[in-house]
Structure 1
Amino acid sequence: MMFDSLKLYLKQERASNTDLLAQTPVHLEKIKEHRQTGRIHYSGKLKNLSIYVSERGVSIRGSLAKYYLDDNLQTLTRQDTEQAINKLTDDLHIPVKKADVFRIDFAYNFVMKYEPTIYYNYLGGSQYFSRFRQPKSLYYKNGKRTKLFYDKRSEAKNKAVELLQKNGQ
Protein backbone atom coordinates (compact mmCIF):
# COMPACT_ATOMS: atom_id res chain seq x y z
CA MET A 1 0.00 0.00 0.00
CA MET A 2 1.31 3.45 -0.83
CA PHE A 3 0.24 7.06 -0.64
CA ASP A 4 -0.33 8.70 -3.97
CA SER A 5 -2.32 11.90 -4.46
CA LEU A 6 -2.87 14.13 -1.49
CA LYS A 7 -4.15 17.50 -0.44
CA LEU A 8 -2.43 19.21 2.47
CA TYR A 9 -3.12 22.56 4.08
CA LEU A 10 -0.69 24.36 6.37
CA LYS A 11 -2.30 27.17 8.34
CA GLN A 12 -0.21 30.29 8.84
CA GLU A 13 -0.46 30.00 12.65
CA ARG A 14 1.04 26.49 12.54
CA ALA A 15 4.04 27.62 10.46
CA SER A 16 5.98 28.95 13.46
CA ASN A 17 7.99 32.03 12.50
CA THR A 18 7.57 31.61 8.75
CA ASP A 19 5.65 34.25 6.78
CA LEU A 20 4.15 31.86 4.24
CA LEU A 21 2.84 34.53 1.87
CA ALA A 22 6.22 36.28 1.69
CA GLN A 23 8.56 33.27 1.72
CA THR A 24 6.84 30.36 -0.05
CA PRO A 25 6.21 31.71 -3.58
CA VAL A 26 9.94 32.23 -4.26
CA HIS A 27 10.37 28.43 -4.24
CA LEU A 28 7.71 27.83 -6.91
CA GLU A 29 7.71 27.69 -10.69
CA LYS A 30 5.04 29.12 -12.99
CA ILE A 31 4.00 31.58 -10.30
CA LYS A 32 0.81 33.54 -10.82
CA GLU A 33 -0.26 36.44 -8.65
CA HIS A 34 -3.97 36.78 -7.91
CA ARG A 35 -5.72 39.79 -6.39
CA GLN A 36 -9.20 39.50 -5.04
CA THR A 37 -11.08 41.93 -2.80
CA GLY A 38 -7.85 43.73 -1.93
CA ARG A 39 -6.02 40.55 -0.93
CA ILE A 40 -3.14 38.92 -2.73
CA HIS A 41 -2.43 35.22 -3.13
CA TYR A 42 -0.20 33.11 -5.37
CA SER A 43 -0.42 29.84 -7.22
CA GLY A 44 2.45 27.88 -8.70
CA LYS A 45 4.07 24.52 -9.19
CA LEU A 46 6.73 22.50 -7.45
CA LYS A 47 7.46 19.75 -9.95
CA ASN A 48 4.02 18.11 -10.39
CA LEU A 49 2.51 19.59 -7.21
CA SER A 50 0.08 22.51 -7.34
CA ILE A 51 0.75 25.04 -4.58
CA TYR A 52 -1.61 27.82 -3.51
CA VAL A 53 -0.38 30.44 -1.01
CA SER A 54 -2.46 33.05 0.80
CA GLU A 55 -2.12 35.04 4.00
CA ARG A 56 -4.04 32.24 5.74
CA GLY A 57 -1.83 29.34 4.67
CA VAL A 58 -0.48 27.03 1.97
CA SER A 59 -2.39 24.36 0.05
CA ILE A 60 -0.44 21.51 -1.57
CA ARG A 61 -2.09 19.15 -4.08
CA GLY A 62 -0.78 16.34 -6.25
CA SER A 63 0.90 12.95 -6.35
CA LEU A 64 3.51 12.48 -3.64
CA ALA A 65 4.96 9.49 -5.51
CA LYS A 66 5.34 11.50 -8.71
CA TYR A 67 6.93 14.38 -6.82
CA TYR A 68 9.45 12.16 -5.04
CA LEU A 69 10.08 9.35 -7.57
CA ASP A 70 9.23 11.25 -10.79
CA ASP A 71 6.34 8.87 -11.59
CA ASN A 72 3.42 7.31 -9.76
CA LEU A 73 4.12 3.84 -11.08
CA GLN A 74 6.43 2.89 -8.24
CA THR A 75 5.37 2.16 -4.69
CA LEU A 76 6.40 4.57 -1.96
CA THR A 77 7.48 2.72 1.15
CA ARG A 78 6.74 4.20 4.55
CA GLN A 79 10.35 5.39 4.71
CA ASP A 80 10.07 6.89 1.19
CA THR A 81 6.92 8.71 2.27
CA GLU A 82 8.69 10.24 5.25
CA GLN A 83 11.63 11.23 3.03
CA ALA A 84 9.23 12.73 0.47
CA ILE A 85 7.61 14.88 3.18
CA ASN A 86 11.09 15.92 4.39
CA LYS A 87 12.08 16.82 0.81
CA LEU A 88 8.89 18.83 0.42
CA THR A 89 9.71 20.63 3.67
CA ASP A 90 13.22 21.40 2.41
CA ASP A 91 12.06 22.47 -1.06
CA LEU A 92 9.34 24.81 0.22
CA HIS A 93 11.11 25.87 3.43
CA ILE A 94 7.92 25.33 5.45
CA PRO A 95 7.01 22.77 8.18
CA VAL A 96 4.93 20.41 6.00
CA LYS A 97 4.60 17.89 8.87
CA LYS A 98 2.38 20.43 10.65
CA ALA A 99 -0.08 20.53 7.73
CA ASP A 100 -3.59 19.09 7.92
CA VAL A 101 -4.41 16.27 5.49
CA PHE A 102 -7.66 16.87 3.59
CA ARG A 103 -7.28 14.12 1.02
CA ILE A 104 -5.06 11.12 0.60
CA ASP A 105 -5.20 8.43 -2.05
CA PHE A 106 -3.93 5.00 -1.14
CA ALA A 107 -2.78 2.79 -3.98
CA TYR A 108 -1.50 -0.70 -4.56
CA ASN A 109 -0.27 -2.30 -7.76
CA PHE A 110 -1.29 -5.91 -8.42
CA VAL A 111 0.67 -7.95 -10.94
CA MET A 112 -1.92 -9.87 -12.95
CA LYS A 113 -1.62 -12.76 -15.36
CA TYR A 114 -4.28 -11.41 -17.75
CA GLU A 115 -5.41 -7.98 -18.86
CA PRO A 116 -7.17 -6.20 -15.99
CA THR A 117 -10.46 -5.81 -17.89
CA ILE A 118 -10.89 -9.61 -17.81
CA TYR A 119 -11.15 -9.50 -14.01
CA TYR A 120 -13.75 -6.71 -13.81
CA ASN A 121 -16.75 -9.02 -14.38
CA TYR A 122 -15.61 -11.14 -11.42
CA LEU A 123 -15.49 -8.16 -9.08
CA GLY A 124 -19.03 -7.89 -7.75
CA GLY A 125 -20.62 -5.19 -5.69
CA SER A 126 -19.05 -3.47 -2.71
CA GLN A 127 -21.24 -2.65 0.28
CA TYR A 128 -22.12 1.06 0.52
CA PHE A 129 -20.57 1.73 -2.92
CA SER A 130 -22.08 2.15 -6.38
CA ARG A 131 -20.32 0.22 -9.14
CA PHE A 132 -19.43 1.97 -12.43
CA ARG A 133 -17.90 0.00 -15.27
CA GLN A 134 -15.95 2.00 -17.83
CA PRO A 135 -14.36 0.66 -21.03
CA LYS A 136 -10.89 0.41 -19.45
CA SER A 137 -11.55 0.81 -15.72
CA LEU A 138 -13.88 -0.06 -12.87
CA TYR A 139 -14.98 2.40 -10.18
CA TYR A 140 -16.76 1.90 -6.88
CA LYS A 141 -17.98 5.21 -5.44
CA ASN A 142 -19.85 6.50 -2.44
CA GLY A 143 -20.13 10.04 -1.06
CA LYS A 144 -16.60 10.14 0.36
CA ARG A 145 -14.54 7.39 -1.22
CA THR A 146 -13.67 5.93 -4.60
CA LYS A 147 -12.10 2.57 -5.38
CA LEU A 148 -10.55 2.43 -8.84
CA PHE A 149 -9.21 -0.51 -10.82
CA TYR A 150 -7.36 0.14 -14.08
CA ASP A 151 -4.43 -1.03 -16.20
CA LYS A 152 -1.24 0.57 -14.87
CA ARG A 153 0.79 -0.97 -17.71
CA SER A 154 -1.39 0.82 -20.25
CA GLU A 155 -0.90 4.10 -18.37
CA ALA A 156 2.87 3.53 -18.31
CA LYS A 157 2.92 2.75 -22.02
CA ASN A 158 0.98 5.95 -22.80
CA LYS A 159 3.52 7.91 -20.74
CA ALA A 160 6.53 6.06 -22.25
CA VAL A 161 7.60 4.72 -18.83
CA GLU A 162 9.13 1.26 -18.53
CA LEU A 163 7.71 -0.91 -15.76
CA LEU A 164 9.93 -3.31 -13.89
CA GLN A 165 8.11 -6.54 -13.13
CA LYS A 166 8.83 -9.18 -10.54
CA ASN A 167 9.69 -12.79 -11.42
CA GLY A 168 10.45 -11.96 -15.05
CA GLN A 169 6.77 -11.35 -15.93
Structure 2
Amino acid sequence: MLLTRLLPPFIPQTRPFFHWLDIVFNRVDEERRKIVGPDRSCAEWLLRNGAHVKWEHCNEFLTDYNKLPSDRIRLHLVEVYASEASIMHYGFDHFVGCEHIRKIIFHKCYHLENEALKGLTALKNSLLYLQITECLNITESGLIHLNTLNNLKELILADLPYIKEKEKILDKLQHNLPHCTIQFH
Protein backbone atom coordinates (compact mmCIF):
# COMPACT_ATOMS: atom_id res chain seq x y z
CA MET A 1 0.00 0.00 0.00
CA LEU A 2 2.88 2.37 0.73
CA LEU A 3 4.14 2.01 -2.85
CA THR A 4 0.88 3.20 -4.37
CA ARG A 5 0.95 6.36 -2.24
CA LEU A 6 4.45 7.22 -3.48
CA LEU A 7 3.62 6.96 -7.18
CA PRO A 8 2.22 10.08 -8.86
CA PRO A 9 -1.32 9.79 -10.17
CA PHE A 10 -1.60 8.52 -13.74
CA ILE A 11 -1.80 11.40 -16.20
CA PRO A 12 -3.05 10.39 -19.63
CA GLN A 13 -1.12 11.59 -22.69
CA THR A 14 -2.70 14.49 -24.50
CA ARG A 15 -1.17 13.44 -27.81
CA PRO A 16 -1.10 9.93 -29.17
CA PHE A 17 2.21 8.10 -29.32
CA PHE A 18 2.15 8.05 -33.13
CA HIS A 19 2.01 11.85 -33.24
CA TRP A 20 5.37 11.96 -31.50
CA LEU A 21 6.71 9.33 -33.86
CA ASP A 22 5.55 11.42 -36.83
CA ILE A 23 7.52 14.37 -35.43
CA VAL A 24 10.65 12.22 -35.27
CA PHE A 25 10.19 11.10 -38.91
CA ASN A 26 9.81 14.73 -40.00
CA ARG A 27 12.87 16.28 -38.34
CA VAL A 28 15.78 17.40 -40.51
CA ASP A 29 19.04 15.52 -39.98
CA GLU A 30 21.59 18.19 -40.92
CA GLU A 31 24.49 15.70 -40.96
CA ARG A 32 22.66 13.45 -43.43
CA ARG A 33 21.76 16.50 -45.50
CA LYS A 34 25.42 17.51 -45.75
CA ILE A 35 26.40 14.03 -46.89
CA VAL A 36 23.71 13.37 -49.53
CA GLY A 37 22.58 16.88 -50.50
CA PRO A 38 19.23 18.63 -50.15
CA ASP A 39 17.33 16.81 -52.92
CA ARG A 40 18.19 13.32 -51.69
CA SER A 41 17.56 14.28 -48.07
CA CYS A 42 14.21 15.80 -49.01
CA ALA A 43 13.24 12.71 -51.03
CA GLU A 44 14.10 10.46 -48.09
CA TRP A 45 11.91 12.58 -45.79
CA LEU A 46 8.98 12.59 -48.19
CA LEU A 47 9.12 8.86 -48.93
CA ARG A 48 9.56 7.99 -45.26
CA ASN A 49 6.32 9.84 -44.56
CA GLY A 50 4.24 8.34 -47.36
CA ALA A 51 4.69 10.85 -50.20
CA HIS A 52 5.90 10.10 -53.72
CA VAL A 53 8.66 11.94 -55.57
CA LYS A 54 9.68 12.39 -59.16
CA TRP A 55 13.27 13.01 -60.22
CA GLU A 56 14.36 15.22 -63.09
CA HIS A 57 14.38 13.29 -66.40
CA CYS A 58 12.19 10.49 -64.96
CA ASN A 59 8.65 9.75 -66.11
CA GLU A 60 7.39 7.89 -63.05
CA PHE A 61 7.06 8.68 -59.38
CA LEU A 62 9.25 6.85 -56.92
CA THR A 63 7.00 5.40 -54.24
CA ASP A 64 9.27 3.02 -52.37
CA TYR A 65 11.97 4.31 -50.01
CA ASN A 66 13.95 1.10 -50.55
CA LYS A 67 14.25 1.84 -54.28
CA LEU A 68 16.06 5.14 -53.86
CA PRO A 69 19.09 5.33 -56.14
CA SER A 70 22.58 5.26 -54.66
CA ASP A 71 23.27 8.29 -52.52
CA ARG A 72 26.40 8.93 -54.61
CA ILE A 73 24.17 9.81 -57.57
CA ARG A 74 23.03 13.45 -57.38
CA LEU A 75 19.54 13.87 -58.78
CA HIS A 76 17.12 16.80 -58.60
CA LEU A 77 13.58 16.53 -57.29
CA VAL A 78 10.99 18.08 -59.60
CA GLU A 79 7.61 16.86 -58.29
CA VAL A 80 6.04 15.84 -55.00
CA TYR A 81 2.77 13.95 -54.66
CA ALA A 82 1.66 13.73 -51.04
CA SER A 83 -1.70 12.05 -50.56
CA GLU A 84 -2.49 10.97 -47.01
CA ALA A 85 1.17 11.50 -46.20
CA SER A 86 2.18 12.22 -42.62
CA ILE A 87 4.35 15.21 -43.47
CA MET A 88 4.42 18.00 -40.89
CA HIS A 89 5.88 21.48 -40.68
CA TYR A 90 8.83 20.07 -38.73
CA GLY A 91 10.11 18.62 -41.99
CA PHE A 92 9.58 21.54 -44.35
CA ASP A 93 13.16 22.71 -43.86
CA HIS A 94 14.02 19.75 -46.08
CA PHE A 95 12.87 21.93 -49.00
CA VAL A 96 15.73 24.39 -48.40
CA GLY A 97 18.23 23.97 -51.21
CA CYS A 98 15.84 22.05 -53.48
CA GLU A 99 15.95 24.39 -56.45
CA HIS A 100 14.13 22.32 -59.07
CA ILE A 101 10.79 21.39 -57.48
CA ARG A 102 8.13 22.65 -59.89
CA LYS A 103 5.01 20.85 -58.72
CA ILE A 104 3.57 19.81 -55.35
CA ILE A 105 0.24 18.18 -54.56
CA PHE A 106 -0.89 17.98 -50.93
CA HIS A 107 -4.09 15.92 -50.71
CA LYS A 108 -5.58 14.69 -47.44
CA CYS A 109 -2.41 15.50 -45.53
CA TYR A 110 -4.03 15.65 -42.12
CA HIS A 111 -0.85 16.65 -40.27
CA LEU A 112 -0.28 19.61 -42.59
CA GLU A 113 -0.77 22.88 -40.72
CA ASN A 114 -0.45 26.60 -41.42
CA GLU A 115 3.16 26.68 -40.23
CA ALA A 116 4.10 24.21 -42.97
CA LEU A 117 2.96 26.53 -45.75
CA LYS A 118 5.43 29.15 -44.54
CA GLY A 119 8.16 26.60 -45.28
CA LEU A 120 7.25 26.61 -48.97
CA THR A 121 9.02 29.98 -49.33
CA ALA A 122 12.20 27.94 -49.84
CA LEU A 123 10.69 26.97 -53.21
CA LYS A 124 9.63 30.46 -54.31
CA ASN A 125 11.99 30.49 -57.30
CA SER A 126 11.06 27.08 -58.71
CA LEU A 127 7.51 26.14 -57.69
CA LEU A 128 5.04 26.56 -60.57
CA TYR A 129 2.09 24.40 -59.49
CA LEU A 130 0.64 23.86 -56.04
CA GLN A 131 -2.46 21.94 -55.01
CA ILE A 132 -3.80 21.85 -51.46
CA THR A 133 -6.98 19.79 -51.12
CA GLU A 134 -8.72 18.22 -48.14
CA CYS A 135 -5.95 19.30 -45.76
CA LEU A 136 -8.19 19.93 -42.79
CA ASN A 137 -5.85 22.03 -40.61
CA ILE A 138 -5.26 24.84 -43.10
CA THR A 139 -6.77 28.28 -42.44
CA GLU A 140 -6.52 31.77 -43.95
CA SER A 141 -3.39 32.49 -41.90
CA GLY A 142 -1.68 29.55 -43.57
CA LEU A 143 -2.76 30.39 -47.10
CA ILE A 144 -1.44 33.94 -46.77
CA HIS A 145 2.10 32.46 -46.70
CA LEU A 146 1.62 31.46 -50.33
CA ASN A 147 1.96 35.14 -51.33
CA THR A 148 5.74 34.68 -51.46
CA LEU A 149 5.56 32.07 -54.23
CA ASN A 150 6.03 34.65 -56.99
CA ASN A 151 6.73 32.14 -59.80
CA LEU A 152 3.56 30.14 -59.12
CA LYS A 153 1.48 29.71 -62.30
CA GLU A 154 -1.33 27.54 -60.97
CA LEU A 155 -2.82 27.16 -57.49
CA ILE A 156 -5.63 24.70 -56.73
CA LEU A 157 -7.39 24.93 -53.36
CA ALA A 158 -10.38 22.79 -52.41
CA ASP A 159 -12.21 21.28 -49.46
CA LEU A 160 -10.51 23.38 -46.79
CA PRO A 161 -13.26 23.52 -44.15
CA TYR A 162 -11.63 26.11 -41.86
CA ILE A 163 -11.43 28.77 -44.56
CA LYS A 164 -14.25 31.09 -43.51
CA GLU A 165 -13.62 34.09 -45.76
CA LYS A 166 -12.97 32.38 -49.07
CA GLU A 167 -13.50 35.45 -51.29
CA LYS A 168 -11.31 37.66 -49.11
CA ILE A 169 -8.36 35.27 -49.12
CA LEU A 170 -8.84 34.60 -52.84
CA ASP A 171 -8.63 38.35 -53.53
CA LYS A 172 -5.45 38.67 -51.46
CA LEU A 173 -3.81 35.74 -53.19
CA GLN A 174 -4.82 36.95 -56.66
CA HIS A 175 -3.53 40.46 -55.88
CA ASN A 176 -0.14 39.16 -54.67
CA LEU A 177 0.17 36.44 -57.33
CA PRO A 178 -1.04 38.28 -60.46
CA HIS A 179 0.45 35.75 -62.91
CA CYS A 180 -1.12 32.76 -61.18
CA THR A 181 -4.36 31.05 -62.10
CA ILE A 182 -6.17 30.25 -58.87
CA GLN A 183 -9.02 27.78 -58.48
CA PHE A 184 -10.73 27.64 -55.11
CA HIS A 185 -13.52 25.11 -54.70
Q: TM-score, normalised by structure 2?
A: 0.25
RCO greater where, 1 or 2, for CA within 8 Å and sep 6 or more?
1
Structure whose residues are more often strand by fraction = 1
Q: TM-score, normalised by structure 1?
A: 0.26
